[in-house]
Amino acid sequence: MDNRFATAFVIACVLSLISTIYMAASIGTDFWYEYRSPVQENSSDLNKSIWNDFASDEADEKTYSDALFRYNGTVGLWRRCITIPQNTYWYSPPERTESFDMVTKCMSFTLNEQFMEKFVEPGNHNSGIDLLRTYLWRCQFLLPFVSLGLMCFGALIGLCACICRSLYPTIATGILHLLAGLCTLGSVSCYVAGIELLHQKLELPENVSGEFGWSFCLACVSAPLQFMASALFIWAAHTNRKEYTLMKAYRVA
């Protein structure tokens, strides 16, 4: 094997490993989108009601979105989290000079919630199904796992190529990484579109802002790494095969 192709193969493997780690970390963390709002230190009946509704298994999209807006919420592919005072009271506590201790409370999205229909008016089941937001949500949930699976399968083929001491099978690895990059890019695009459509229907309250978090950024970085790894795998395999064919023809001649 030519040193050029071996070097390209090693660089592609490193890029693939980094993108896999980034993608796995992105899937497993809860900071795809973050809301910034004034800290709610008052444990009023209204606040406690919102917290209880947020933690309920029957919370709909509007219920948990309102809680995310008000309590510095973060959203991932699997979980939603809010930040609330650690100690709650059934009465208004006396004024304190120090700030309340804040804790993060998280709730997981069930599989039923992941595939549940989204409504034209969030929380209003009589407003009709919003097919666009429904399929955007499902794609943003499924595509990262497809991407991760394709990369793992591509790594298996690459391992077989190393055992066989041949670069040619890595063309399949490159194609799988290309498909994985497209899935990652599609997931990111679906997430951005879904968030924008949600905010059009549920406007952010005053003094509340939102931004994409570092989990989302990891997914964004993972996509170009997958494309670069794909290009190196395909180039190394194709060029090595071409040179081998020319050399074989030369020897025959």
Could you give the C-alpha distances from 148 to 19, 237, 239, in angstroms and in order? 9, 22, 27
Number of H helices, E strands in the chain: 7, 5
Bridge partners (DSSP) of residue 104 are: 83
The pLDDT of 162-177, averaged and rounded, is 81
The H-or-E segment that residue 207 falls in is: none
Residue 155 pLDDT: 87
Report pTM: 0.84
pLDDT at residue 248 is higher than 70: no
What CATH fold (topology level) applies to the domain 1-88+99-244?
A: Butyryl-CoA Dehydrogenase, subunit A; domain 3 (1.20.140)
Statement: residue 22 has pLDDT above 90: yes
Selected residue with higher pLDDT from 227 and 42: 227
Within its chain, how far is the Cα of 11 from the centroid?
25
Distances (CA, A) of 128 to 115, 212, 229, 253: 16, 29, 44, 73
Q: Give me the pLDDT at residue 100, please.
A: 58
Do the strands 79-85 and 74-75 form a parallel or antiparallel pair, or are they unpaired?
antiparallel
Measured between its terminal Cα atoms, the distance across the chain in Å is: 22
